[in-house]
C-alpha cells in the first residue's frame, strides 16, 4: 500500500496537469475566436466594464457620507451649507488661503456634495473609477485599442494593492483627492504615452498646445506628490523622444509649462504655510522618513515588484522586438513612482491614502511588461496568462464578499442612525448619542470624531459619540 502512494500521487499530478493543459488550449481557442471578431471582443470588453461598474456602484451606494464630507458640505470654515456653484468657488477661495492649495480636487468634492441626490453622486463617483481603470489600461497598452486581459489586471491589482480602498475610491472627499486627482493626471499624461512622432498642421499644433497648457495647469493643481511625479515624467518622455531623434512638438512643452504653473499655484497657497507654521525638518528626520517610506514601499509593493523582476527575466530571454522602448517606458513610470514617494519627505505626513498615485504608477509599470510578455504566441505563456487572470477573478469574487458584508453592515448602522435622528428631532431633543463603530476591512469607513461639529450642523442636532 505504501509503495502505491508515490505512484498514485504522481498520477494525480499528471491528471491535473493534463486538465490544465486542456483548459489552456480551450482558452487560447476561445481567445482566437473572439479576437477575430472585433464586435464580439469589444462587446465582451464593455460587458466586463459594466460588471466592474456595478460592483463599485454597489459599494458607493452603501458607503455613507463620512468625516470631511460633512466639512465640505459647507462653505469652508463657515456654518453656511453649499447651495450653488458660486458657493463652491467662494469656498475654495477660503480654502486656498486658510488650509491648502488642492483647489481642483476639492472643487470636485464640493461640486459632488452640492447635490442632495446621493444616487447621482454614487453614479458619478463610480464612473470616475471606471474612467481611472480605463486610463490605466491605455497607459499600459500604449494604444487606444481594447485589451480584456489588461482591463482585468488593472482592476484587480487596484482592488488588491490599494491599502485603504474605501478612503481613496468610495469616500467622496478621499476619492476626489486621490482617485479623481490621479485620473486627471493619467488623462493629461496619455498624449505623451501615445505619441508616435507625428507632425501636426500649424492650426492643430496651436490648438493642441493651448489644450495641453490648460490641461497641465489643472493636472498640476491636483495633488502634491503625484503631480510632482507627473512633471518629472513629462521631462522623461521628452528626453526619451529626443534621444530617439524624434520630433518633440510644441504641445509637449506647453503641457510641461502648464503642469509647472499649476503645481506652483498649488504649493504657493497661503494655507499651506499657515498649516506648516511651527514645524521644522532636520537631517535626522529626513533619514528617518527615507527609511520609513522605503519600508512601506516594500510592504505595499514588494510582491508586485518581485513579479516584475520575474517577468523581466522572462522578457529578456524571449528576445522581444522594441525592447528598448518597452524598458524605457517602464523606467519612466518607475522614476515617477519614486519621485512621488520621496518628495513626501518634506511633508508633515504621508498617510496610506496618499500612496494611491504611487501604487497606480507601479501597476502601470507591471502592466506594460505583462502586456509585452503575454502577447507572445507561445502556448505556455498564454496558459500562464489565463491561470493568472482566473486567479485574479476568483480572488476578487471571494474578497468582494468581505467588502459586501462590511459596507452593508455600515450602511445598516447609518440607516438606523438617520431614523433615530428624525425621531429625536421630532421630540425636540437637543442631543443624540451613538455608539462609535469602526470598519472591519479596507472597504469600509469608520466614525470620525473630528467631524462631529459639522455633522451636528448637517443634521441640525448635536451629534455625539459614546466615550
Q: What is the pLDDT of residue 2?
A: 45
Per-residue pLDDT tens over the stretch 4-33: 556 555 556 666 556 656 555 555 556 666
Residues 6+ apart with CB under 8 A from 92: 76, 103, 106, 107, 110
In this predicted structure, the answer to whether residue 193 has a pLDDT above a threshold of 80 is yes
Per-residue pLDDT tens over the stretch 44-78: 999 999 999 999 999 999 999 999 999 999 999 99
Number of domains into which the chain is organized: 1
Q: What's the rounded Cα separation, in Å, for the pair 74 and 90?
A: 11
In this predicted structure, the answer to whether residue 1 has a pLDDT above a threshold of 50 is no
Q: What is the DSSP letter of 80?
A: P
Q: Do strands 431-434 and 462-465 pair parallel, antiparallel, or not at all (unpaired)?
A: parallel
Q: Which residues does residue 432 pair with via DSSP β-bridges, in sequence order? A: 463
Per-residue pLDDT tens over the stretch 270-290: 988 877 676 778 899 999 999
Task: Decide if 206 is inside a domain.
Answer: yes
Task: Decide if 186 is inside a domain.
Answer: yes
Q: What percent of the chain has pLDDT over 90?
A: 78
Least confident span in 199-203, 227-231, 248-252, 318-322: 318-322
Task: Decide if 38 is inside a domain.
Answer: no
Least confident span in 186-190, 377-381, 416-420: 377-381
Task: Decide if 208 is inside a domain.
Answer: yes
Q: What is the pLDDT of residue 299?
A: 97
| Mean pLDDT, the chain, integer | 91
Task: Decide if 249 is inside a domain.
Answer: yes
Q: What's the rounded Cα separation, in Å, for the pair 171 and 401?
A: 19
Average pLDDT over residues 254-259: 98
In this predicted structure, the answer to whether residue 3 has a pLDDT above a threshold of 70 is no
Q: What is the pLDDT of residue 321?
A: 76
Residues 6+ apart with CB under 8 A from 333: 233, 361, 362, 364, 365, 368
Q: What's the rounded Cα separation, in Å, for the pair 267 and 221?
A: 8
Task: Decide if 320 is inside a domain.
Answer: yes
In this predicted structure, the answer to whether residue 327 has a pLDDT above a threshold of 90 is yes
Per-residue pLDDT tens over the stretch 133-150: 999 999 999 999 999 999
Q: What's the rounded Cα separation, in Å, for the pair 444 and 461?
A: 25
Q: What is the pLDDT of residue 116?
A: 83
Instruction: Look up the domain containing 230 and give its range.
Output: 43-399
Average pLDDT over residues 287-305: 96
Between 113 and 196, the more confident residue is 113
Task: Decide if 263 is inside a domain.
Answer: yes
Average pLDDT over residues 79-88: 96
Do residues 81 and 115 touch, judged by C-beta distance below 8 A? Answer: no
Q: What's the rounded Cα separation, in Å, for the pair 41 and 43?
A: 5
Between 117 and 276, the more confident residue is 117
183 alpha carbon, distance to own chain's centre: 7
C-alpha cell at 21: 493543459
Q: What's the rounded Cα separation, in Å, for the pair 349 and 82?
A: 30
Q: What's the rounded Cα separation, in Å, for the pair 387 and 381?
A: 10
Task: Decide if 408 is inside a domain.
Answer: no
Which secondary-structure segment (H or E) carries 431?
Answer: strand 431-434
Q: What is the DSSP letter of 81?
A: B
Do residues 392 and 433 touch, judged by C-beta distance below 8 A? Answer: no
Q: What is the pLDDT of residue 24?
A: 54
Between 266 and 40, the more confident residue is 266
Amino acid at each position: 500500500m505504501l509503495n502505491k502512494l508515490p505512484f498514485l500521487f504522481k498520477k494525480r499530478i499528471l491528471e491535473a496537469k493534463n486538465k490544465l493543459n486542456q483548459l489552456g488550449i480551450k482558452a487560447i481557442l476561445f481567445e482566437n475566436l473572439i479576437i477575430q471578431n472585433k464586435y464580439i471582443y469589444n462587446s465582451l470588453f464593455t460587458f466586463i466594464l459594466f460588471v466592474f461598474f456595478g460592483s463599485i456602484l454597489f459599494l458607493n451606494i452603501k458607503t455613507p457620507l463620512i468625516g470631511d464630507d460633512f466639512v465640505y458640505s459647507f462653505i469652508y470654515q463657515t456654518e453656511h451649507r453649499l447651495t450653488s456653484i458660486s458657493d463652491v468657488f467662494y469656498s475654495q477661495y477660503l480654502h486656498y488661503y486658510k488650509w491648502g492649495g488642492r483647489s481642483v480636487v476639492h472643487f470636485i468634492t464640493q461640486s459632488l456634495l452640492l447635490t442632495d441626490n446621493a444616487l447621482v453622486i454614487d453614479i458619478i463617483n463610480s464612473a470616475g473609477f471606471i474612467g481611472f481603470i480605463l486610463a490605466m489600461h491605455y497607459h499600459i497598452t500604449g494604444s487606444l485599442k481594447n485589451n480584456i486581459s489588461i482591463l482585468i489586471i488593472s482592476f484587480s491589482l487596484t482592488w488588491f494593492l490599494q491599502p485603504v480602498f474605501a478612503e481613496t475610491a468610495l469616500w467622496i472627499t478621499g476619492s476626489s483627492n486621490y482617485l479623481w486627482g490621479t485620473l486627471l493626471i493619467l488623462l493629461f499624461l496619455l498624449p505623451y504615452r501615445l505619441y508616435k512622432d507625428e507632425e501636426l498642421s500649424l492650426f492643430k499644433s496651436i490648438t493642441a498646445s493651448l489644450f495641453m497648457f490648460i490641461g497641465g495647469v489643472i493636472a498640476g493643481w491636483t495633488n502634491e506628490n503625484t503631480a510632482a511625479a507627473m512633471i518629472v515624467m513629462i521631462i522623461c518622455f521628452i528626453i526619451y523622444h529626443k534621444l530617439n531623434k524624434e520630433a518633440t512638438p510644441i504641445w509637449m512643452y506647453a503641457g510641461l509649462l502648464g503642469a509647472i504653473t499649476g503645481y506652483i499655484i498649488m504649493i504657493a497657497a497661503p494655507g499651506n504655510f499657515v498649516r506648516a507654521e511651527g514645524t521644522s525638518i532636520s537631517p535626522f528626520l529626513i533619514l528617518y522618513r527615507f527609511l520609513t517610506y522605503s519600508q512601506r514601499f516594500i510592504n505595499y509593493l514588494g510582491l508586485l515588484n518581485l513579479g516584475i523582476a520575474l517577468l523581466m527575466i522572462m522578457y529578456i530571454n524571449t528576445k522581444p522586438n522594441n525592447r528598448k522602448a518597452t524598458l524605457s517606458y517602464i523606467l519612466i513610470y518607475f522614476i515617477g513612482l519614486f519621485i512621488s514617494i520621496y518628495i513626501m519627505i518634506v511633508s508633515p505626513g504621508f498617510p496610506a491614502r496618499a500612496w494611491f498615485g504611487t501604487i497606480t504608477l507601479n501597476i502601470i509599470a507591471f502592466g506594460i511588461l505583462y502586456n509585452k510578455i503575454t502577447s507572445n504566441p507561445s502556448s505556455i505563456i498564454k496558459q500562464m496568462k489565463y491561470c493568472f487572470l482566473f486567479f485574479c477573478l476568483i480572488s476578487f469574487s471571494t474578497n468582494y464578499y468581505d467588502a459586501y458584508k462590511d459596507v452593508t453592515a455600515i450602511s445598516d448602522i447609518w440607516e438606523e442612525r438617520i431614523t433615530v435622528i428624525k425621531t429625536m428631532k421630532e421630540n425636540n431633543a437637543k442631543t443624540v448619542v451613538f455608539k462609535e463603530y469602526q470598519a472591519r476591512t479596507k472597504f469600509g469607513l469608520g466614525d470620525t470624531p473630528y467631524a462631529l461639529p459639522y455633522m451636528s450642523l448637517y443634521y441640525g442636532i448635536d451629534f455625539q459619540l459614546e466615550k
